[in-house]
């Protein structure tokens, strides 16, 4: 897989590049800001771009804007956003326009090669990657009337994996159950939560996250 | 004592002046012989001329008397009465059955009419001639008219005058018969009249031209007829220069007479209007007196003065001696005073120290309440309001400095958040990376690998703690995405259920959003400390204020959240605390 890495902090960028190369990825470009990133992506048409959310010149959400531009103009390129914020707003903003081939991970995770490789593979498979911390944050939220109380322990487990962006097959592998069992769980969960999104579509991650977010 | 004397004098004048004026008018009407042929007055020629003659004189007389009895227009009134008396002099001269002396004196004084009108116009609006050159012109006109009148009366014999028609029998004033000189004086008299008419027209016209709008409104009723009087009398003089033989029966002279009458009538009417206006100003000032007695509401003195003076643009600024600057009644920097273009600024001082500056219509000085009996009351009111403006200015200063303190604190928080993010967090990430590499390298050594794995866990924990700390110091999402998003995130990580009912999606200034955010954050922490399980929050913009409302189900509140109140107060907002509710209003317009 061919990857472009964008981060204005050299130390982090080089660390990621080194890890990727060791894991057998081909790093075709590096960038320090959004403009440079878009140029590299245009030039190399990589399979994925790893993008720091906070880059010059504004040091706010440059990376997010660049990610949206990449997804709009280069459908074959997945985008993995690295962020220091446990901020569902950002993750949702990323998913809202282009619900597939996007990922939002907390920065410290990328030095775990297994997580990094898994994330990039999933993007290549048109899946979505949402950091487990964000998902547990949303699931763990204190609520007055908790719709999650209706769910069984196993269903909650499946829900959080769905929210993280895993496909039914990946969830089945993770939980050591048959894929059909997972499908049944997902159907049940969507029914209990009153979600009318198609439980098999790409949009289900967005639907689940948005549902968890809005419901107080 | 002066005041009592003045009132006493006015009391006498109130009766005497109208009585004398009425007697004079009655005498004129009685003496005017309309049945003489050939006529000796214009009144004898036609009913129209008679009516015009009486109407003009009486109008000016009535207006003059009315003005005389007003303290403000007394001198003008006297001049107008004088002019009315002079207007009737030709009628006295033509009094066929009257004593010769009276008729001669009337003839001698008749040229004064136009000069008195010039005097009146020059002395507008208070009756004093404003400058030495103007005084010189008026004095010269009086002198010339006097020389002509007295010279003709003492040197000329009407019996020898070919042009004589009013009084041609004899001249008891005759001192020395010098007909040539008398006729030359006649000519001089006409040229003098022409010159005075031109000066009168020019003076009136110029005064109209340079006056401000308000002054023009006030003065035009007198000045415009004065121009007409000048024109009619100039026409009269020119007609006499061309046709020395004045025959009131000819169309030219009859017309000119009616025109002169009309112009003078208009002058009288204009003067009457001015008197009525002055009375209104008096009433307004009396009202001002009452208003000042009732102490006008703070910051409303300028409005009260504007109403009293009829100058809606009147504005007041107060002097702050400590800061050496002016402020408006509200304590804010005053609106710029425009000077020139008919605007003037009057400094009000008290024992030599400046108190206030009043910007007003330049023509207003004449009527300014600052000059009148009410001056002490107005000064006192100004001084009172100055103290209030000073207090308000200090309050504004204090509020601004509080706002600056809060703003500086916010900036500091933001900077700290950035520093933590870009500094410490990056270093921890680098550390975590190195530990990862070390862990990979130590693969063979099981103990070392375990230690390094634990170290990595520690590093991740530190990163997570740091992240939370940075978010608590300043939530980056607030500046980037606004209150609604930031509060949603806040609710998601709260230790108790937070229901966001209505959160405005509109963006507001940083300080306002930060204050609103911290209000909700503090209220959540406070509710949690009091054992609450649910907090409901509402944030909406209403009438230029951001209203934050919170309610919870915890134990009754004990803390008064002082630093929150400080922060909101610094933005000019307010906070209301109850046992389980909180309501903050922050100006956001």
For residue range B534-556, what is the model confidence (pLDDT) as tens digits? Answer: 999 999 999 899 999 999 999 99
For residue range B155-187, what is the model confidence (pLDDT) as tens digits? Answer: 887 777 777 788 877 778 888 888 888 888 888
Q: How many CB pairs under 8 A join A and B?
A: 80
Provide the pLDDT confidence category of residue B34 given band limits of 50, 70 and 90. Answer: confident
pLDDT tops 60 at residue B373? no
pLDDT tops 70 at residue B90? yes
The two structure tokens encoding residue B472 = 């608590």
Query: Quick one: pLDDT at residue B523?
Result: 93
Q: Where are the extended beta strands (E) located within B321-352? A: 325-327, 343-350
pLDDT tops 70 at residue A157? yes
Query: Quick one: pLDDT at residue A78?
Result: 93
Structure-model confidence comparison of residues B520 and B468, the more confident one? B520
B19 touches chain A (CB under 8 A): no
For residue range B494-511, what is the model confidence (pLDDT) as tens digits? Answer: 899 999 988 998 999 988
Provide the pLDDT confidence category of residue A99 given band limits of 50, 70 and 90. Answer: confident
Distance between CA atoms of B67 and B79, rounded to whole angstroms?
A: 10
Helix, coil or strand: residue A89: helix
Residue A37 near residue A30 (C-beta atoms within 8 A) = no
Question: Which range is most confident: A70-79, B118-127, B444-453, B471-480?
Answer: A70-79
For residue range B571-583, what is the model confidence (pLDDT) as tens digits? Answer: 889 999 999 999 9
pLDDT tops 60 at residue B365? no
Residue B331 near residue B391 (C-beta atoms within 8 A) = yes
Q: What SS3 string covers B150-165?
A: HHHHHHCCHHHCCCCC
pLDDT tops 80 at residue B530? yes
pLDDT tops 70 at residue B374? no
The proportion of chain B whose per-residue pLDDT surpasses 90, expressed as a percent, equals 29
Query: Quick one: pLDDT at residue B313?
Result: 79
Q: Look over chain B and give the mean of its residue pLDDT values, rounded to a whole number.
A: 85
Provide the pLDDT confidence category of residue B3 given band limits of 50, 70 and 90. Answer: very low
Residue in A16, A20, A85, A112 to test binding to B, most B beta-carbons within 10 Å? A85
Query: Quick one: pLDDT at residue B372?
Result: 52
Query: Quick one: pLDDT at residue B237?
Result: 92
- Per-residue pLDDT, averaged over B482-505, amounts to 90
Provide the pLDDT confidence category of residue A129 given band limits of 50, 70 and 90. Answer: very high
Segments in B32-164 forming alpha helices (H): 47-68, 74-87, 89-93, 100-109, 112-122, 132-155
B477 touches chain A (CB under 8 A): yes
Provide the pLDDT confidence category of residue A15 given band limits of 50, 70 and 90. Answer: confident
Pick from A15, A61, A86: CB nearest B433: A15
Half-sphere exposure at residue B542, Cβ-oriented, CA atoms within 13 angstroms = 10
Residue B477 near residue B486 (C-beta atoms within 8 A) = yes
Q: What is the DSSP letter of B557?
A: P
A9 touches chain B (CB under 8 A): yes
- Kindly report the number of other CB atoms within 10 A of residue B544's CB atom: 9
* Predicted TM-score of the model (pTM): 0.59
CB neighbour burial string for A125-155, b if at least 16 within 10 angstroms, e if fewer: eebbbbbbebbebbbebbbeeeebeebeeeb
Query: Quick one: pLDDT at residue B370?
Result: 53
Pairing verdict, β B497-503 and B325-327:
unpaired
Torsion from C-alpha of B272, B274, B276, B280, nearest 10 degrees? 180
pLDDT tops 80 at residue B80? yes
Query: Taking the CA atoms of chain A, what radius of gyration do you get in angstroms?
Result: 17
Q: Look over chain A and give the mean of its residue pLDDT values, rounded to a whole number.
A: 88
Residue B268 near residue B296 (C-beta atoms within 8 A) = no
B192: left (phi over 0), alpha (psi -120 to 50) or beta: alpha
Enumerate residues 6+ apart whose C-beta is below 8 A from B166: B40, B41, B90, B93, B94, B103, B107
Enumerate residues 6+ apart whose C-beta is below 8 A from B119: B79, B129, B138, B141, B142
Structure-model confidence comparison of residues B371 and B47, the more confident one? B47
The two structure tokens encoding residue B563 = 């630093």
Q: Which residue shows structure tokens 């804010």?
A: B332
Subunit contact B430:A89, Cβ cutoff 8 A: no
Tell me, rounded to whole angstroms, the distance of Cα B167 from its chain centroid: 56
Enumerate residues 6+ apart whose C-beta is below 8 A from B84: B21, B57, B58, B60, B61, B64, B268
Q: Nearest 5 degrees, angle CA B201-CA B203-CA B206?
A: 105
Q: Which residue shows structure tokens 């929150």?
A: B564
A171 touches chain B (CB under 8 A): no
- Per-residue pLDDT, averaged over B371-384, amounts to 72
Query: Quick one: pLDDT at residue B1?
Result: 40
Query: Quick one: pLDDT at residue B213?
Result: 66
pLDDT tops 80 at residue B308? no
Segments in chain A forming alpha helices (H): 10-22, 34-44, 62-73, 88-97, 113-124, 132-139, 153-164, 168-175, 179-193, 204-214
B433 touches chain A (CB under 8 A): yes
């Amino acid at each position: 897989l061919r990857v472009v890495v964008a981060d204005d902090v050299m130390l982090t960028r080089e660390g990621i590049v080194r890890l990727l190369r060791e894991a057998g990825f081909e790093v075709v470009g590096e960038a320090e800001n959004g403009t440079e990133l878009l140029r590299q992506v245009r030039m190399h048409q990589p399979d994925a771009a790893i993008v720091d959310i906070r880059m010059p010149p504004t040091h706010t959400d440059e990376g997010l804007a660049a990610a949206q531009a990449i997804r709009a103009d280069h459908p074959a390129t997945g985008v993995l956003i690295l962020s220091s914020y446990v901020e569902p707003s950002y993750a949702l903003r990323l998913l809202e326009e282009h619900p597939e081939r996007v990922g939002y991970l907390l920065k410290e995770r990328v030095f775990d090669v297994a997580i990094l490789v898994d994330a990039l593979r999933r993007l290549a498979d048109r899946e979505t990657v949402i950091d487990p911390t964000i998902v547990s944050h949303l699931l763990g939220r204190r609520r007055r009337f908790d719709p999650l109380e209706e769910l069984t322990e196993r269903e909650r487990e499946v829900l959080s994996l769905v929210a993280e962006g895993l496909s039914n097959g990946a969830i089945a592998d993770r939980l050591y159950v048959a894929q059909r069992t997972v499908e049944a769980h997902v159907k049940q969960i969507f029914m209990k939560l009153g979600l009318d999104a198609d439980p098999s579509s790409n949009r289900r991650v967005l639907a689940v996250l948005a549902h968890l977010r809005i419901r107080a | 004592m002066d005041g009592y004397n003045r009132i006493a004098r006015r009391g006498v004048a109130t009766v005497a002046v109208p009585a004398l004026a009425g007697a004079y008018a009655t005498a004129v009407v009685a003496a005017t012989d309309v049945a003489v042929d050939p006529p000796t007055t214009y009144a004898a020629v036609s009913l129209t001329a008679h009516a015009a003659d009486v109407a003009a004189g009486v109008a000016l007389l009535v207006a003059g008397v009315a003005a005389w009895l007003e303290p403000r227009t007394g001198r003008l009134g006297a001049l107008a009465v004088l002019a009315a008396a002079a207007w009737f002099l030709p009628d006295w001269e033509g009094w066929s059955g009257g004593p010769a002396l009276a008729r001669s004196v009337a003839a001698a004084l008749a040229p004064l009419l136009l000069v008195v009108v010039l005097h009146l116009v020059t002395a507008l609006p208070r009756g004093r001639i404003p400058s030495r050159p103007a005084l010189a012109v008026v004095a010269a006109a009086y002198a010339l008219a006097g020389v002509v009148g007295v010279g003709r009366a003492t040197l000329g014999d009407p019996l020898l005058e070919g042009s004589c028609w009013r009084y041609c029998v004899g001249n008891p004033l005759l001192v020395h018969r010098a007909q040539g000189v008398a006729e030359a004086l006649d000519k001089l008299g006409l040229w003098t009249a022409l010159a005075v008419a031109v000066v009168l027209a020019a003076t009136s016209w110029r005064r109209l031209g340079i006056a401000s709008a308000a002054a023009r409104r006030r003065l035009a009723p007198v000045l415009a007829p004065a121009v007409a009087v000048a024109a009619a009398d100039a026409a009269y003089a020119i007609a006499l220069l061309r046709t020395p033989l004045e025959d009131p029966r000819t169309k030219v002279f009859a017309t000119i007479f009616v025109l002169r009458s009309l112009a003078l009538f208009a002058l009288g009417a204009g003067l009457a209007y001015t008197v009525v206006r002055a009375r209104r100003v008096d009433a307004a000032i009396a009202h001002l007196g009452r208003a000042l007695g009732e102490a006008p509401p703070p910051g409303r003195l300028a409005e009260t003065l504007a109403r009293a003076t009829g100058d809606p643009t009147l504005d007041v600024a107060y002097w702050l001696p400590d800061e050496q600057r002016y402020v408006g009644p509200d304590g804010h920097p005053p609106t710029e005073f425009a000077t020139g273009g008919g605007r003037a600024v009057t400094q009000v001082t008290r024992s030599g120290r400046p108190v206030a500056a009043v910007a007003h219509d330049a023509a207003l000085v004449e009527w300014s309440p600052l000059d009148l009996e009410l001056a002490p009351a107005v000064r006192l009111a100004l001084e009172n309001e100055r103290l209030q403006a000073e207090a308000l200015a200090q309050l504004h200063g204090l509020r601004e400095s509080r706002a600056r303190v809060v703003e500086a604190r916010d900036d500091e928080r933001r900077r700290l958040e950035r520093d933590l993010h870009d500094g410490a967090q990056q270093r921890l990430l680098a550390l975590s990376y190195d530990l990862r590499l070390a862990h990979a390298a130590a693969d063979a050594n099981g103990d070392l690998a375990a230690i390094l794995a634990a170290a990595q866990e520690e590093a991740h924990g530190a990163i997570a703690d740091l992240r939370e700390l940075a978010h608590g110091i300043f939530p980056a999402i607030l500046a980037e995405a606004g209150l609604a998003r930031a509060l949603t995130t806040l609710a998601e990580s709260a230790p108790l259920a937070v229901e966001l009912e209505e959160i405005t999606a509109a963006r507001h200034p940083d300080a306002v959003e930060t204050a609103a955010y911290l209000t909700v954050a503090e209220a959540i922490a406070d509710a949690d400390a009091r054992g609450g399980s649910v907090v409901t929050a509402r944030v909406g913009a209403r009438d230029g204020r951001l209203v934050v409302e919170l309610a919870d189900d915890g134990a009754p509140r004990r803390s008064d959240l002082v630093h929150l109140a400080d922060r909101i107060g610094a933005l000019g907002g307010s906070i209301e605390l109850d046992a389980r509710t909180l309501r903050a209003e922050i100006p956001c317009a």
